[in-house]
Structure 1
Amino acid sequence: MRSKQTSAFVRVYRREWQRIAEKKTLYMLMLFLPLTIFILLAAIYQNRVVTDLPVAVWDQDNSDLSRMVIRSYASTRSIQINGYVHSLEEIKEQFRSGRIQGALYIPADFSKQIKRGKQARLVFYENASNLVIGNLLLKESQTISQTISAGLVMRQMRALGMSEAQAMDKTLPVRIESKSLYNPAYNYENFLVPGLLPMLLQLMIMVAGVLICSSEYTHNTIQELYRLADSGISAIFWGKSLPHLMVHSATVLGLLGILFPWFGIPFRGSLLAGFVLMELFVMASFFMAMALSTLFHDQFLATEIAVFFNTPAFIFSGYTFPVWAMPGLHQVYAQLMPFTHFLQGFIKLYQMGLSFKDVLPQAVVLVLFILISVVVILTALNYRSRHILLQTKTV
């Protein structure tokens, strides 16, 4: 009996490999697209941080002090002074044309106000239509403003006869030391790429996975499959699953073992723990897709459902906007996606350097996704097996 089951499994297993090789859609989704898209995406962010943002200057003061302010802005790696303007209209026109992302305005009375001991005003315009650019320029401008203000106050204190230490204490009575953890350089490659790639992997796994059984129904080969398997549910389940899981596991190995080191993306935790968590994620995504494939026999409908389910995955993952800040219904929907739970655990491993025990809650949820999906698959396959057997007896 065991030998018969093994033989049925081998037949289905070989047939599935043949189907993968013959169906262009499958091997493109499983082999070529992941490799191509992963490399392209990682290459986009290889510069890691945004630098040399073009900034215009409108200096009405034209003093030594205003030139010192301009040099302070030009000395940062994020800002590049690309020219001078002479009116607000010129600033607006350059923003509209895309020639600048920021503009510094120094009023005519800037140095006079400081010499009188009064508060002087600087105006810095930033392009906030892009959050990355707007926040970066705002951060740089605030840092420069605080540094210049502290330097001017210290100069006044020193002129009154205070020592440098005394002047520093008066200037900064409360000193805040900001410690940026896990990604101190605000590196976009280290932040975005490890989140984007698994999301795209889930999309491709599920779009390929929904074709596993639905295409059998669409092309009227389902009875042939059951005959090859001797109507054995386990032979169909494992015979059709293992080839896909093997390919996706190889993709995971390539992602963690080749792509991350190649682009210099650090993995601070255990690579083995990362591989195990990602394997659970792959299995959860794959078996969910296979469950859809057994429930919806029209492959186009199954594909549409998979695409609809996966398209907002990155938005609902909490990576760009926290899940807890979303409306209640959206929070519930986010929990229905394996990617949401995987990403929470993956960040702990690759970015924070924690151990596998710290991601056990996320791993348990992924296992639940797997178990529920497998139960649905086996139930649907068993129902179809009885239906085919009934048809055969009727004939």
Structure 2
Amino acid sequence: MMKAIIQITIREWKRILTLPVHYLVLLVMPALLFAFYAYIYQARNARDLPVAIWDDDRSVLSRQFAFMLEQTESIHITRQVDNQTELETLIRRGEVAGAIHFPARMERNIKSRHPVYITVYTNAAAIVTAKLIYKDAAQVLMTAGSGVILQKLVKLGMPKDKAMTLVQPLKLTSYQLYNPTFNYQQYLVPGLIFVALQMMIIMVTVLLLNYERKTNTLEELHQVAKGSAFVAITGKTLAHLVVGWVNFILVTGIVLPLFEVGHPAATGTLFVVFTLLVLACIGIGILVSAIFKDVMVACDLGLFYTSPAFVFSGFTFPRWAMPWYDQYYAAIMPFTFFLDAFFKVYFMELPLRYAYTEMGYILIFIVVTYPLAIILFQRQLNKLEVQHA
């Protein structure tokens, strides 16, 4: 049996290297796509976002505030506006990403400790840039406003420590973990790469069995496997698992280091979780291939199944906030559980034991799909034997 499995594995490697539907998707596209993803986010951080200033105060203090805002990483003042209509027009045209309004008599009200309402306008259609502008603007304006009041109290003779306590009675320290600089490349690229790998693996493996019939090689497979569906599926799985490992090496050994992305210390634990993902994807693809003899139907089903993986996985929006039926849909994709484990072992660099639960869920896909695929394909091989008897 072992000899037959090795023969099937070698045979499948030859098919991968010679059939365009295999080598283009598994060997050519990954390298191009991975480099393309990393290159898209080469800028990494959203810096110097164009921001407009609407200054109704026109005071020395408002000019100081504008200067301080310009010193932040995310804000670059490019326009001066005089009214809200002009401001909204610039945002709609995409000429600015946000705006800040200094109200009339702002300096006088701050110094007299009257309420002052400074307005920050952002284009929330771009969530990350909107948050960056608001974060930097809020930090600067709150600090600067407190500084003005502090300076006035000290001039009136109040000790600096007491004045500081009065101006800022509560000190808040925040720590942003695992992606503190909101680095697009560091955060998005690995996730996009692995969801693309899931799609590629499933889209190829839905053709592993039925494509043998289309290329008139099913009888040859039957002979090499000695009529055993277990041998045929095991050999094909090993071949595609090795291809998955090759792509893993390409990602973690070349693409991510080339663009200075990733956490090399987490490569070992990630490899274990990734191997489970590959086996689960192959199992799903082989099961579909065993059920549907029509190649086009199998491909359509594979595309329908894999396309929403990134959206439903929770990578950009929490699953618990999705409707219950979307959460159930997410639960039937192995990438969903891989992603949870991926965050733990890759971004947080936690030991593998923290991902045991997610690995257990991925194992369920493996335990369910392979036996069903073997049973269904064995029936096809048995019918083939009867036809040739």
Tell me if TM exceeds 0.5. Answer: yes
| CA distance in structure 2 between the aligned counterparts of 1:287 and 1:117, rounded to whole angstroms | 68
| CA distance in structure 1 between the aligned counterparts of 2:165 and 2:344, rounded to whole angstroms | 39
The answer to whether the 8 Å contact 1:55/1:83 transfers is: yes
Structure 1 residue 6: deviation in Å? 4.7
Structure 1 residue 268: deviation in Å? 6.7
Aligned length: 389
Residue number in structure 1 paired with 2:176 = 180
After alignment, is 134-143 or 220-229 more displaced? 220-229
The answer to whether the 8 Å contact 1:237/1:378 transfers is: yes
Tell me the alpha carbon deviations over residues 161-193 of structure 1, each in whole angstroms, 9 at most, x when there is no partner.
122222211112121111222222222222211
The answer to whether the 8 Å contact 2:110/2:149 transfers is: no
Equivalent of 1:127 in 108, 123, 131: 123
Q: What secondary structure does 2:247 align onto? A: helix
The answer to whether the 8 Å contact 1:229/1:236 transfers is: yes
Residue number in structure 2 paired with 1:94 = 90
| CA distance in structure 2 between the aligned counterparts of 1:9 and 1:277, rounded to whole angstroms | 25
The answer to whether the 8 Å contact 2:51/2:98 transfers is: yes
Q: In structure 1, list runs of 5 or more residues that go unmatched.
A: none
The answer to whether the 8 Å contact 1:94/1:100 transfers is: yes
Structure 1 residue 148: deviation in Å? 1.8
Residue number in structure 1 paired with 2:68 = 72
Residue number in structure 2 paired with 1:55 = 51
**Where do 1:300-315 residues align within 5 Å?**
300-315=296-311
- Structure 1 position 237 matched with structure 2 position 233: yes
Structure 1 residue 50: deviation in Å? 0.4
| CA distance in structure 1 between the aligned counterparts of 2:12 and 2:264, rounded to whole angstroms | 38
Instruction: Name the aligned partner's letter for residue 60 of structure 1.
Output: D
Structure 1 residue 271: deviation in Å? 2.1
Instruction: Name the aligned partner's letter for residue 110 of structure 1.
Output: M
Runs of 4+ that moved beyond 4 A: none
**Where do 1:181-200 residues align within 5 Å?**
181-200=177-196
Residue number in structure 2 paired with 1:164 = 160
After alignment, is 119-128 or 197-206 more displaced? 119-128
Tell me the alpha carbon deviations over residues 293-323 of structure 1, each in whole angstroms, 9 at most, x when there is no partner.
1111111111111111111111111111111
Instruction: Name the aligned partner's letter for residue 133 of structure 1.
Output: T
Equivalent of 1:382 in 378, 381, 387: 378
The answer to whether the 8 Å contact 1:126/1:137 transfers is: yes
The answer to whether the 8 Å contact 1:8/1:232 transfers is: no
Tell me the alpha carbon deviations over residues 182-222 of structure 1, each in whole angstroms, 9 at most, x when there is no partner.
22222222221121111010000000111111212333432
Structure 1 residue 49: deviation in Å? 1.1
The answer to whether the 8 Å contact 2:99/2:122 transfers is: yes
After alignment, is 25-34 or 101-110 more displaced? 101-110
**Where do 1:1-395 residues align within 5 Å?**
5-267=1-263, 269-393=265-389
Structure 1 residue 259: deviation in Å? 2.2
The answer to whether the 8 Å contact 1:256/1:275 transfers is: no
| CA distance in structure 2 between the aligned counterparts of 1:143 and 1:286, rounded to whole angstroms | 49
The answer to whether the 8 Å contact 2:113/2:149 transfers is: no
Instruction: Name the aligned partner's letter for residue 30 of structure 1.
Output: L
The answer to whether the 8 Å contact 2:53/2:100 transfers is: yes
Distance 1:103 1:352, change over 3 A: same
The answer to whether the 8 Å contact 2:52/2:96 transfers is: yes
Q: What secondary structure does 2:101 align onto? A: strand
Instruction: Name the aligned partner's letter for residue 170 of structure 1.
Output: L
| CA distance in structure 2 between the aligned counterparts of 1:332 and 1:234, rounded to whole angstroms | 31
Instruction: Name the aligned partner's letter for residue 161 of structure 2.
Output: A
Q: In structure 2, list runs of 5 or more residues that go unmatched.
A: none
| CA distance in structure 2 between the aligned counterparts of 1:7 and 1:56, rounded to whole angstroms | 71
Q: What secondary structure does 1:211 align onto? A: coil
After alignment, is 68-77 or 137-146 more displaced? 137-146
After alignment, is 138-147 or 46-55 more displaced? 138-147
Instruction: Name the aligned partner's letter for residue 81 of structure 1.
Output: I
Q: What secondary structure does 1:51 align onto? A: coil
| CA distance in structure 1 between the aligned counterparts of 2:110 and 2:26, rounded to whole angstroms | 65
Q: What secondary structure does 1:390 align onto? A: helix
| CA distance in structure 1 between the aligned counterparts of 2:268 and 2:210, rounded to whole angstroms | 34
The answer to whether the 8 Å contact 1:269/1:352 transfers is: no
Instruction: Name the aligned partner's letter for residue 96 of structure 1.
Output: R
Structure 1 residue 11: deviation in Å? 4.1
Distance 1:88 1:325, change over 3 A: closer
Structure 1 residue 17: deviation in Å? 2.4
